[in-house]
Amino acid sequence: MLKEFKEFAMRGSVIDLAIGVIIGGAFGKIVSSLVSDILMPPIGLLLGKVDFSNLYINLSGGEYASLAAAREAGAATINYGTFLNMVIDFMIVAFVIFLLIRQVNKLQKPQPAPAAPAVKECPYCLTMIPQKATRCPACTSEIK
């Protein structure tokens, strides 16, 4: 069983997948920073100086100045601003992956069309003859 697991883990596709997950995690952090630190502040400014990461609904009934204060007090909250940031993160990651896959597909060489069969069957004697033959060498019938 250990030998089978080692063979499975050392296959190229498993290693490629592991590398992809690691790079994807790092890419996700970059996109999260792009959204929360670069994109959302100007959008919040345009929408009346709103900090999306600080938007929440307080379920406990108390008044808190910020989401951090509500969390510190242990209040139950619905953090829809954080959710909006995550949705925007996802949309950017999905769009970038779409663009990447699109480019990879363009760079791949197109598969050649399957070649026409080199032989055909004589309709009279059912012998295989060259595709361009006009007369069967076995039965000497003319083939159209």
For residues 28 and 30, what is the distance between their CA atoms, to the nearest angstrom? 5
**How many structural domains are present in the chain?**
2
The 3-state secondary structure of the chain, one letter per residue: CHHHHHHHHCCHHHHHHHHHHHHHHHHHHHHHHHHHHHHHHHHHHHCCCCCHHHCCEECCCCCCCCHHHHHHCCCCEECHHHHHHHHHHHHHHHHHHHHHHHHHHHHCCCCCCCCCCCEEECCCCCCEEECCCCECCCCCCECC
CA torsion, ordered 69, 70, 73, 75, to nearest 10 deg: 180
Tokens of 102: 């699109």
Asked if residue 127 and residue 102 are part of one domain, the reply reads no
How high is the pLDDT of residue 12? 65
User: In this structure, is residue 5 part of a structural domain?
Assistant: no
Residues 91 and 49 occupy one common structural domain: yes
Query: What is the domain extent for residue 131?
Result: 115-144
131 and 64 inside one domain: no
Same domain as 84, residue 121: no
Indicate if 54 and 106 belong to the same structural domain.
yes
For residue 6, tell me if it sits in a domain.
Answer: no
- The answer to whether residue 2 sits within a structural domain is no
For 14-25, how does the pLDDT look when each residue is reduced to its tens digit (9 = 90+)?
777 888 888 888
Residue 60 resides in a domain: yes
pLDDT band at 37 (very low <50, low <70, confident <90, very high): confident
User: Does any domain span residue 83?
Assistant: yes
pTM as predicted? 0.54
In a shared domain, residues 69 and 16: yes
In a domain, 71, yes or no: yes
Per-residue pLDDT tens digits for 71-121: 888 889 998 888 888 888 788 878 888 888 888 888 877 777 777 788 999
